[in-house]
């Protein structure tokens, strides 16, 4: 079970309504960790993290059982995921669909191509280590082909991909997992883009509902969605994981589930027009790139100055 107490999380501003195991129990799933050992093994392949002190940990691996149970509960035909990462979320949802023999596809978006290698913490045989691996390589070596076949990886930023979603004749979606860029404007864009292609009754799950600098999920959910949605439509969760940040200290990790009932999706589309969200998202990207460029220039100047070069 999760060690983090609800009171401790509430004191840090997350205000969860329950833990993931509690929600799983409400859905009729077994909340015992041992029930989810296959997903824990998958997390060791695709969700392992290394801390600054060199130790390895699984982070909030409970999102895997949540996504698995979510797919089997809602039985979606098409799932949209913003932010593939190394594939833990997409594969948990694909495994759920495969186990239940659902006619379900997972569409997942990420800026990193599946063939690109990256630093990849992995525990393949009881010995965690860092390797240079790609999604294509790890999935081919470790994931059932029937599960892999359910996942459609789309490479690019979410603004560009979602702008052409209907033009590419991609299907409307039934559930959406938002775990891409975490800035406020990009979170708003991904929400608005999901609404634009969603079927009635579409449910949405946000990762990173947490009190953390430059993370916009909690702000967006609390400031915008709570005004527009019935109270019972929003379920906030704590995952039992914690992020250790240089300037903010220990931050509890939460998620927010938007149930797919109790509101009119057409009304939400009017409140969150995609055209405005797309413009704001592009502006936020431009500002972020400009800041990174200025930071590199400043760093180079400081390096030259330290060497006595003016």
**DSSP 8-state secondary structure symbol assigned to residue 19:** E
- C-alpha–C-alpha distance, residues 299 and 310, integer Å: 14
The pLDDT value recorded for residue 8 is 36
Q: Take residue 40 and report the two structure tokens written for it.
A: 């824990």
pLDDT tens profile 123-146: 998 899 999 999 999 999 999 999
pLDDT tens profile 13-47: 434 578 999 999 999 999 999 999 999 999 999 99
Torsion sign across C-alpha atoms 213, 218, 221, 223: negative
176 domain residue, yes or no: yes
Whole domain around residue 277: which residue ranges? 6-306
The pLDDT value recorded for residue 14 is 39
Q: Is 174 left (phi over 0), alpha (psi -120 to 50) or beta?
A: alpha
The pLDDT value recorded for residue 3 is 38
Q: What is the mean pLDDT of residues 91-107?
A: 98
Dihedral angle of Cα 183, 185, 188, 193, to the nearest 10 degrees: -110
- When comparing pLDDT for 59 and 228, which is higher? 228
- C-alpha–C-alpha distance, residues 237 and 280, integer Å: 28
What are the DSSP calls for 172-188, one per residue?
Answer: PEEEEEE-S--SHHHHH
297 domain residue, yes or no: yes
Q: What is the mean pLDDT of residues 195-215?
A: 92
Three-state DSSP state, 151: strand
Asked whether the predicted pLDDT for residue 262 surpasses 90, the reply is no
100 domain residue, yes or no: yes
- Three-state secondary structure along 283-309? HHHHHHHHHHHHHHHHHHHHHHHHCCC
Q: Return the beta strands (E) in the chain as ranges.
A: 18-19, 49-50, 56-57, 78-82, 105-110, 118-122, 129-133, 151-155, 173-178, 198-206, 234-245, 249-258
117 domain residue, yes or no: yes
Highest mean pLDDT among 192-196, 268-272, 273-277, 279-283: 192-196
pLDDT tens profile 52-62: 888 998 878 99
Question: Of the candidates 5, 2, 16, 59, which has an alpha carbon nearest to the alpha carbon of residue 209?
Answer: 16
User: How many distinct structural domains can be found in the chain?
Assistant: 1
Please give the distance of CA 101 from its chain centroid, rounded to a whole number.
24
Backbone angles phi, psi at 123, to 5 degrees: -125, 95
Q: Take residue 219 and report the two structure tokens written for it.
A: 């702000």
**DSSP 8-state secondary structure symbol assigned to residue 171:** P
- C-alpha–C-alpha distance, residues 106 and 194, integer Å: 14
Please give the distance of CA 253 from its chain centroid, rounded to a whole number.
12
pTM of the model: 0.85
10 domain residue, yes or no: yes
Asked whether the predicted pLDDT for residue 122 surpasses 60, the reply is yes
Asked whether the predicted pLDDT for residue 70 surpasses 50, the reply is yes
178 domain residue, yes or no: yes
What percent of the chain has a predicted confidence (pLDDT) above 90? Answer: 65
Where residue 305 falls among pLDDT bands split at 50, 70, 90? Answer: low
The pLDDT value recorded for residue 9 is 35
Residue entry with tokens 């990790």:
253
Where residue 261 falls among pLDDT bands split at 50, 70, 90? Answer: confident
Backbone angles phi, psi at 114, to 5 degrees: -65, -20
The CA angle 228-232-238, to the nearest 5 degrees, is 105
1 domain residue, yes or no: no
**DSSP 8-state secondary structure symbol assigned to residue 253:** E
Please, what is the average pLDDT of the chain?
86
188 domain residue, yes or no: yes
Backbone angles phi, psi at 43, to 5 degrees: -65, -35
Contact, 302 vs 239, CB < 8 A? no
Asked whether the predicted pLDDT for residue 67 surpasses 50, the reply is yes
Domain of 267: which CATH number?
A: 3.40.50.150
The pLDDT value recorded for residue 238 is 86
């Amino acid at each position: 079970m999760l060690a983090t107490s609800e009171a401790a999380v509430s004191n840090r501003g997350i205000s969860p309504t329950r833990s993931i195991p509690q929600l799983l129990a409400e859905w009729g799933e077994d909340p015992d960790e041992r029930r989810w050992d296959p997903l824990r093994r998958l997390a060791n392949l695709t969700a392992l993290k290394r801390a600054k002190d060199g130790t390895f940990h699984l982070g909030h691996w409970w999102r895997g059982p949540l996504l698995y149970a979510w797919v089997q509960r809602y039985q979606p035909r098409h799932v949209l995921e913003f932010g593939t990462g190394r594939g833990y979320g997409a594969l948990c949802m694909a495994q759920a669909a495969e186990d239940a023999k659902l006619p379900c596809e997972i569409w997942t978006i990420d800026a990193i191509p599946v063939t690109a290698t990256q630093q990849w913490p992995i525990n393949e045989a009881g010995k965690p280590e860092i390797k240079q691996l790609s999604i294509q390589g790890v999935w081919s070596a470790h994931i059932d082909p029937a599960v892999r076949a359910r996942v459609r990886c789309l490479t690019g930023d979410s603004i560009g991909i979602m702008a052409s979603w209907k033009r590419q004749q991609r299907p409307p979606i039934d559930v959406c997992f938002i775990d891409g860029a975490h800035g406020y404007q990009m979170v708003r864009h991904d929400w608005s883009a999901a609404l634009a292609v969603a079927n009635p009754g579409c449910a949405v799950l946000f990762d990173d509902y947490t009190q953390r600098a430059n993370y916009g999920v909690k702000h967006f959910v609390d400031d915008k969605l709570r005004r527009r949605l019935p109270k019972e439509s929003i379920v906030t969760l704590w995952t039992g994981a914690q992020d250790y940040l240089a300037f903010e200290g220990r931050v509890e990790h939460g998620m927010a589930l938007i149930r797919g009932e109790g509101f009119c999706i057409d009304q939400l589309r009017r409140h969150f027009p995609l055209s405005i969200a797309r413009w704001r998202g592009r502006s936020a990207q431009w500002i972020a790139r400009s800041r990174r460029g200025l930071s590199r220039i400043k760093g180079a100047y400081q390096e030259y100055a330290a060497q006595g070069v003016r």
